Each structure stands twice: as structure tokens, then as C-alpha cells.
Structure 1
Amino acid sequence: MIRVHALRTGSVFVRPSQIIGRAPFRRLRPFLERGWSAALPILAFLIEHPEGLFLVDSGESPRAMTRGYFPPWHPYFRLAVRFAIADEQAIDVQLRTLGVAPSDLRAVVLTHFHTDHAGGLAHLPPLRTLVSRIEWQLAQGVAGQVRGYFLDHLPPGFRPEFIRFDANPPAPFPRAMALTSDGAVMIVPTPGHSSGHVSVLVTTPAQRFLIAGDASYTEAALAARAIDGVCPNPRSARKTLATIAAFAEASAAAARPFIYLPAHDPDSEARLDSAISR
């Protein structure tokens, strides 16, 4: 049996223009805009498969609430984002609420290396951790910190395993990596929000789940093909959204429901619960 569980590792508040990017000055607006979004979840996802347990993203750490966790010079973390994370929302605690010891995980997949998706690694033991080579390269040095990647928050000695797109991909995705021998759990490229962004496709006999990280912030944004306000490559982001939408349409045509699970969509948990209860 294959199951997907949502793990809420806290909440984040961003400027509304980050959720749906608005021209002109799309990437500048989140720094100038007043007002905040409603609380958005910071979700990680646990996949149960007969071959083992897989974690997609690790969420953010409660340490993000402490002074000095983010560099004081960073304009985005000073002006455009706020976190609300309790100690009991750390990823290791969330796993244990499901009866899962972190050491029982077979692998962790990071959709990308932004701190609210990778910061929770500090609460996990050394594990096989898969990330795209592009993300790891972009995370290096001061330029990586500017992009929102903080390698100093990772466990000492951390080294990722790079994703190898060597499996036959499900159309229309161009490439894939199989995490399980039956191909029920696959990593697919979804660049846009970051250049090395990936998503995880979970296929069951009745449904297909796409654990989508920040491919878009909401399902509504996917439907509107609306890119976010911070992605560095709008063309790549729009192409990714079109690919996901085409996959969803193909799933519907095959009478296999498609459940879209972005990490910050307030409705992701409800969609997942509804799918599980069917």
C-alpha cells in the first residue's frame, strides 16, 4: 500500500505579490508592498511505500525564530517574509507523531534548497538526501545566501546525492528518476521557482499525487498559469506549469484523479485528506 502524509512544520507569511507575480517590477514588488498574506503552511510530505519511507522536503527549523538565524543584511528576510514555527513543529517531532523514527527514512528528497524546504535537515540524522546538482551549485557562497540557501544551517559534514534523471519519464515530463523499483515514486524536473527545482510524483492504482514544492504556491496559480513574484526564470516557470497542467489533464482523461500538493497551499492538506478518504 502507498500513502502520502502531510507534515506541517510551521507557517510563513509573505507579501501577496510573491504568491502571484505582478508586472512590472515583478521581483521588486515583494520588497515594496505593504500587508501580508494569510498564514501559509510550510509542508513536508512523507511517502509510505512497500520499499520504504521517503520524506519530501524537511520544512524549516524552529531555530528560524531565533535572532541571528538569518543574516541581518539580507533584504528579503528583513522585509518580505515572517515565520511562525513552534518547537513541536520540527520535522523530527512531526515524524514521531506518525510513529516514524527519523532514522527509519530510506531517503529525503529536496524539491529545492531554499531554507524553508531544507532547514529541517538540522533535526534529522545523516540520511541519503537527494537534490539536483544545479541547486547544490546555486547554494554555494554568498551568492547562495542571497538566493535564500543557507548551508551553515545544515548538519556538519552534510553531503547530498545528486539526482540522476535516468528513468523513462511519464509524459509530458522530459526526464525522471525512479525512487522505487515499480516506478510508483519518481522525481521529475519542475524548474522555475528555482533553476534546479524538482517535484515528486506518486502513483497509486487509483490516483496520482504531485508533491510540488514551490512549482506554484497554490493550485489556483497552477490553473491560471500564474508564476510567483520571486522566480528567476519566468519562461521556465510558465513551461513547468504548462507541463504539470497537461499531466493533470491526461490523468483526468485516464480517470485517475490528480492531487496537486504545493508546500505552501493552505488547501493542500484538505485535498490530500479528501483523496485519502475516497
Structure 2
Amino acid sequence: MEVHHLNCGTMSLGVVDHCLLVETADSLVLIDSGFGIDCVRAPDDILGFARHLMRPALDENETAIRQIERLGFAPTDVRHIVLTHLDLDHAGGIADFPWATVHVHGPEFRAAMKPSRSDRFRYRAQEWAHDPRWKLNESGGSERWFGFKSVRDLDGLPPEILVVPLYGHTRGHVGVAVDTGTGWLLHCGDAFLTELQFNPLLPGLFFADALYGAPDPKLAFARLSNLRRLIDLNNRHSDEVTVFSSHDRTAFNRLASR
């Protein structure tokens, strides 16, 4: 499967919003959606106060739908969207594809639909006011992928695309793995910030990450545990799996230039 790397929303300090566009045999699959057209045209309504913290460029040319058009595809070719989580900078573009099935992990969907006090800032119901075609996936099975629990039965998607629960940043955060035919890509969403955290000579970056976005201490612990597992995956299987996060510009530039 051919995979296109898209930056769907440059933010402050040059942070990117790394999304994937996957060409399957019969459709396009978007993995995360970045900021959408409505975010650009009505940022105060859609993004609220978070706009001033993230400071997105709000460039319509960076939206997934415009990039897909420039690649020569029709927006209606996008039949599925798989989300790592429902934070406003990851789900902002789903409204541009109202016909698409939006795959989201069950715990994440439930957290977003009835957010706790600590979660209310991160989720913006305005981004799904169009009543998307939600499709929930749960982690009740025993399927394993490189030692990680995984969910492979995503309705309408080939088995080469699966979700990998990576709780911590949010209550139902997942990674999305794609078998390209020449190796796996693991889009880790916000499970970590930068590949510099994989460097054993920079332990401060590893532990500082526990404070990033985790809603409570229990999830902060889960986040650190998953980061350790991702580092181990990278160390043991970098020849088979490319591990990257949503907002790491260095990783995005390297992957997008291949």
C-alpha cells in the first residue's frame, strides 16, 4: 500500500500535525485528520481558546482535503478515517469527509462524549457536530502485534491496518500500524513527543514526558510504560517497524521526503 505523509497543521515552534493518507485496493484511508476547513475559517467557534495556545497556522492549503486534491484524488475517495484520539488537533478535519466512516477506539469515544472536568479542554464537540459515521473498536481480543495488544478487526479495512492501544495521553489513545508491504509504519499519535526521547543520553526528556497531556497520575504511569515499550520496539525491530509521533517535525521531514 502506498502511504503519503501529510502535515495537516503547523503549530507554534514549528510543530507539525503528522497525518497519513493510505492507498488501499479500493479506497483511501486517512489516519488522523489534523485541522480542517472549518478550523481555518471559524477558528474561534471550532477551536475555542485552544487556538491561542496551539497557535496553528490555519492555512487552508495544509488541510487534508486540499492536500488530497493536490495529489489528484477526489475527496470522496476517502472512505475511512482512523483516529489515534479525539483531541481537537487530530479530529478537526473529519467534518471535511462527512461520508467517511470514522474509526475510533471505544474508550476514547466514551471519554470524549462525556468528558471529565480535566478532559473538557481537549475535546471540541463542534468538530463532530455533523454527526459522523462513527465505528468503534474495542481491545477485548487477544490479538498481538510485536508484543503489543492490537485490534485488527476494523470494519471495512484490510488487515494490514490495525490499532494498537497506547493509553496515557488520553483515556483511549491508540497508535495506528500500517503494513506497507516493505515494512510497518506505527503512527503513535501523542504517545510521545519526539524521537529524542529514545536517546538514553537524554533521560530528562523521558521522564518529563509523563506530564504531557496525561489526565491523571495513573495515565501518566501508563504513558511512561508505553514509552518504554516503544523504545524497546524501536531498538529491537527498527528494521521492520518505523515508529514516529504526530508532532515531531524531524521525523515528519525524513519520512515525507522518502
Same structural fold, with TM-score higher than 0.5 when normalized by the shorter chain: yes
Where does 1:76-155 land on structure 2 (aligned, <5 Å)?
A: 77=50, 80-141=53-114, 143=116, 146-155=120-129
Q: Secondary structure of 1:136's match?
A: helix
Report how far residue 4 of structure 1 moved. 1.7
Report how far residue 203 of structure 1 moved. 2.3
Instruction: Measure the CA separation in 2 of the matches of 1:143 and 1:168.
Output: 30
Call closer, same or farther: CA 1:8–1:182 in 2, change over 3 Å.
closer
Instruction: Measure the CA separation in 2 of the matches of 1:181 and 1:148.
Output: 28
CA contact (8 A) 2:104 2:135 kept: yes
Where does 1:185-264 land on structure 2 (aligned, <5 Å)?
A: 185-223=161-199, 225-226=206-207, 227=209, 228-232=211-215, 233-252=219-238, 255-256=239-240, 258-264=241-247
Report how far residue 270 of structure 1 moved. 2.3
CA contact (8 A) 1:10 1:41 kept: yes
1:164 to 138, 142, 153: 138
Aligned to 1:46: 21
CA contact (8 A) 1:176 1:187 kept: yes
1:188-242: CA deviation from partner (whole Å, max 9, x where unpaired)? 1111111101111122443221111111121112445342522222111011112
Instruction: Measure the CA separation in 1 of the matches of 2:191 and 2:243.
Output: 10
CA contact (8 A) 1:178 1:185 kept: no
Q: Secondary structure of 2:28's match?
A: strand
Q: Secondary structure of 2:162's match?
A: strand
Q: CA RMSD in A?
A: 2.6
Instruction: Measure the CA separation in 1 of the matches of 2:96 and 2:234.
Output: 34
Instruction: Measure the CA separation in 2 of the matches of 1:154 and 1:199.
Output: 21
Aligned to 1:174: 149
Say if 2:11 is the partner of 1:12.
Answer: yes
Aligned to 1:58: 33
Aligned amino acid, residue 251 of structure 2: S
Call closer, same or farther: CA 1:58–1:182 in 2, change over 3 Å.
closer
Report how far residue 131 of structure 1 moved. 0.5
Q: Where in structure 2 are there 5+ consecutive unaligned residues?
A: none
Q: Secondary structure of 2:233's match?
A: helix
Instruction: Measure the CA separation in 2 of the matches of 1:143 and 1:105.
Output: 32
Report how far residue 159 of structure 1 moved. 4.1
Call closer, same or farther: CA 1:3–1:178 in 2, change over 3 Å.
farther
1:127-186: CA deviation from partner (whole Å, max 9, x where unpaired)? 111101111111125647624111122252224111134462213202322448863221
Quick one: percent identity of the two aligned structures? 25
Instruction: Measure the CA separation in 1 of the matches of 2:176 and 2:153.
Output: 10
Aligned amino acid, residue 69 of structure 1: D
Instruction: Measure the CA separation in 2 of the matches of 1:71 and 1:203.
Output: 33
Aligned to 1:272: 255
* TM-score (structure 1 length as normaliser): 0.77
Aligned to 1:16: none
Call closer, same or farther: CA 1:173–1:147 in 2, change over 3 Å.
farther
CA contact (8 A) 2:6 2:256 kept: no
Instruction: Measure the CA separation in 1 of the matches of 2:3 and 2:72.
Output: 14
Aligned amino acid, residue 135 of structure 2: E
Aligned amino acid, residue 164 of structure 1: E
Instruction: Measure the CA separation in 1 of the matches of 2:96 and 2:47.
Output: 21
Q: Secondary structure of 1:139's match?
A: helix
